[in-house]
Amino acid sequence: MPTPDVVTDPYGAAREAADAITRATEVVHHDVALVLGSGWSPALSTFGETTAAMSMEDVPGFPPPRVSGHAGQVRSHVVGAHRVLVLAGRVHLYEGHPPAAVVHGVRAAVAAGAHVVVLTNAAGGITPTLHVGQAVLIRDHLNLTGAGPTEGALAHDNGPGESRFVDLSDLYSERLRGIARGVEPTLAEGIYAALRGPHYETPAEIRMLATMGADLVGMSTALEAIAAKHLGAEVLGLSLVTNPAAGTDSAATLDHREVLAAGRDAAAGLGSLLARIVEAL
């Protein structure tokens, strides 16, 4: 029987991927999912016990990540009382993927049992008080990608029985953010602006985003958050500030290698922070 297509049958494809993950990990129910963005993969060295790992290429419907800094693995971890499904890497709109492919991992994770989805990313810092290496809770987002995961004539067919017109009032769960602040009271919060990329923003665009209320800017996360919320999961978002946004530091240049280096430098602390937050859920 052919694998359902992630665009024409996105929820069937998610169920098939979840079944494959269950077989490979021998875990019937993962209750938490964690998506690792650019530079976050080294944090896994201090994040709970790994019980199983597989390549994303071996999971139905998963396009393998091609961007440096995304490991391209699906891993099962034990963190406290939780079974955590870790997606070490993601794909992006700028790679030419449709929204359904970008959010396929999150949909598969929810189909595998996850009722909490933790999304991480690398971001440019717009607000002057944010510094490189700092982890910031996402309070809300501006989706400026021009795309959404519930759009399209077939996007809702065979779906979860809820309207495609999903309420995003509490998209980044206030309850989960409270838990995270209880674990690490020094965590700042900010609004994340999601742009399509892959080019970095111009100084004029950053000034525009600051006027709109954005504290952080990046090229991911927003569509995955919407897809998770649409399926009834709670969402927690964390950005790692890896560079000053364009024009905010006259001496800074923007380079993806520096993004990855910032992740490596912060890895131990990020892994410990993620583990403590997940354990407290």
Residues annotated as part of the active site: 38, 70, 92, 94-95, 122, 219-220, 243, 256
Q: In angstroms, rounded to a whole number, what is the distance separating the alpha carbons of residues 39 and 145?
A: 22
Q: In angstroms, rounded to a whole number, what is the distance separating the alpha carbons of residues 275 and 15?
A: 27
194 near 99, Cβ under 8 Å?
Answer: no
Burial-class residue 32 by CB neighbours within 10 Å (0-12, 13-18, 19+).
Answer: buried
Half-sphere exposure of 65 (CA within 13 A, CB side): 26
Cα angle 183, 170, 114 (rounded to 5 degrees) comes to 65
121 near 218, Cβ under 8 Å?
Answer: yes
Structure tokens at 193: 């602006």
Beta strands in the chain (DSSP E): 32-36, 49-55, 73-79, 82-88, 116-125, 135-143, 188-194, 216-218, 234-244
Amino acid at 158: N
172 near 274, Cβ under 8 Å?
Answer: no
